[in-house]
Amino acid sequence: MIYLDNAATSRPKPPEVIQAMNDFLNDVCANSGRSGHRLAIQASRIVYEAREAIAELFNVADPLRVVFTMNATESLNLAMRGSLYPGDHVITSSMEHNSVMRPLRALEAQGVEVTVLQCSEQGFLYPGDVDKAIEPHTKMVVINHGSNVTGSLAPVEEIGLITRECGLFFVLDAAQTAGAYPIDTQKMNVDLLAFTGHKSLCGPPGTGGLYIREGVRLEPLKWGGTGSRSEEEYQPDFLPDMYESGTPNLVGIAGLGAGIQFVMREGVKAIRKRERDLTQRLIDGLLDISGVIVYGDLNADHQIGVVSFNIVGVSQSDIGLRLDEEYEIMCRVGLHCAPAAHKTIGTFPDGTVRFGLGTFTTKEEIDMAIQAVRNLAKDG
């Protein structure tokens, strides 16, 4: 079986991730940050070590400014819903996932002004357009780092300079890049970094987080027990407790911590280089097939390991089904939760076939996938 749906969730998970989750359930299985016995302390230590690993990976000075969530979607909701109010203006791009678009449309209905900047047909955002869209009431720029449709990388350093100079919040949706592409929150001037644990960080589903820069204050999405300041009926005002009410996904966080350790041991730069080379190999192989259209820049230096294509005259669902049934290749077809991105690249409403590469994807798998698409294109 060839798994090319890593943009949806990564597979397989490294053995140490599964081991860490098993170990947690077998050996610890206590709540964190609440009781004082040895097992509870062990659970708290596992959570703190995962927080520290995330901080190291994204160059965050204070691990306590990393908040655990369920996924990138919850992190993005916290970043946007926690800081935008009627009368505020927010800038985003036409390549966003619905995890950005839907919260923004909901906020728009409450009186937040939303500007969606048109990206190029290849899926790229021009930093100059961000600059031009800024108004006196602009509060935030929110964009994805790597598109889940074309893989196109956003000009984050340029946008980070603009937002810093203008005093705006810069929210980066790193769902597709965390663990697959170097992220330095200081160098990129990112104020709020939303990431998910189950893609290139190699963790289990149901894990994610938000880095919140010092000085940025968000309204929580939920209030409740945190294990701290139990004498008070009011929410603690310190991080991470302020945003982590209720028992966290401890098994998931144990797995995520192990996943990040795996990523750091492999090295993000090395992972990126491998994926870049395989991505270019895939793009070149697909471009060589008559009747196949590949979307995006077609240059792997400018994108992550996400490649969208179509076969002229063949429906995406037929391609997906035949890849699965005849070639045992798992991929995703359709709109990938990003209708605006497909309108941008001209593939709405049918969408594309998407191959999502991962840390464990091999050259042989890429070549077999290219051959399978070649056969399908020939059959028509």
Ligand X SMILES: Cc1ncc(COP(=O)(O)O)c(C=O)c1O
Binding site for ligand X (CB under 6 A): 71-73, 97, 99, 144, 148, 173, 175-176, 196, 208
* Rounded Cα gap, residues 318 and 314, in angstroms: 7
Nearest approach, Cβ of 197 to ligand X (angstroms)? Answer: 8
For residue 73, the minimal CB distance to ligand X (Å) is 3
Q: What is the maximum span of the chain, computed from C-alpha positions, in angstroms?
A: 70
Return the beta strands (E) in 285-364 as ranges.
292-294, 306-311, 329-330, 332-334, 352-356
**Tokens found for residue 242:** 């302020």
Measured between its terminal Cα atoms, the distance across the chain in Å is 24
Nearer to ligand X, 43 or 84 (CB): 84
Alpha-carbon torsion angle 22, 23, 29, 34, nearest 10? -120
Query: Whose structure tokens read 């399908």?
Result: 376
Nearest distance, CB of residue 229 and ligand X, angstroms: 30
Task: Report the nearest approach of ligand X to the CB of residue 98 (Å).
Answer: 8
154 contacts: CB under 8 Å, gap ≥ 6: 93, 95, 124, 125, 143, 144, 145, 146
Q: Measure the CA–CA gap between 112 and 87, rounded to whole angstroms.
A: 5
Nearer to ligand X, 151 or 285 (CB): 151
Q: How far is the CB of 304 from ligand X (least distance, A)?
A: 10
Report the residue number, 71 or 94, with the smaller CB distance to ligand X.
71
Bridge partners (DSSP) of residue 93 are 117
Q: Minimum distance from CB of 144 to ligand X (Å)?
A: 4
Q: Smallest distance from the beta carbon of 16 to ligand X, in angstroms?
A: 21
Nearest CB to ligand X, comparing residues 171 and 175: 175
CA atoms within 13 A on the CB side of 308: 28
Nearest to ligand X of 72, 300 (CB atom): 72
Closer Cβ to ligand X, 163 or 196, answer by number: 196
CA distances from 215 to 79, 222, 243, 267 (A): 14, 20, 15, 31
Rounded CA-CA distance 261/14 in Å is 10
C-alpha of 290 from chain center: 33
Of the pair 97, 374, the CB lying nearest ligand X is at 97
DSSP assignment of 316-328 equals HHHHHHHHHHHH-
**Residue 337: active-site member:** yes
Contacts of 128 by beta carbon, 8 Å cutoff, 6+ apart: none
Per DSSP, the chain holds a count of helices (H) and strands (E) of 11, 13
The residues assigned a catalytic role are 337
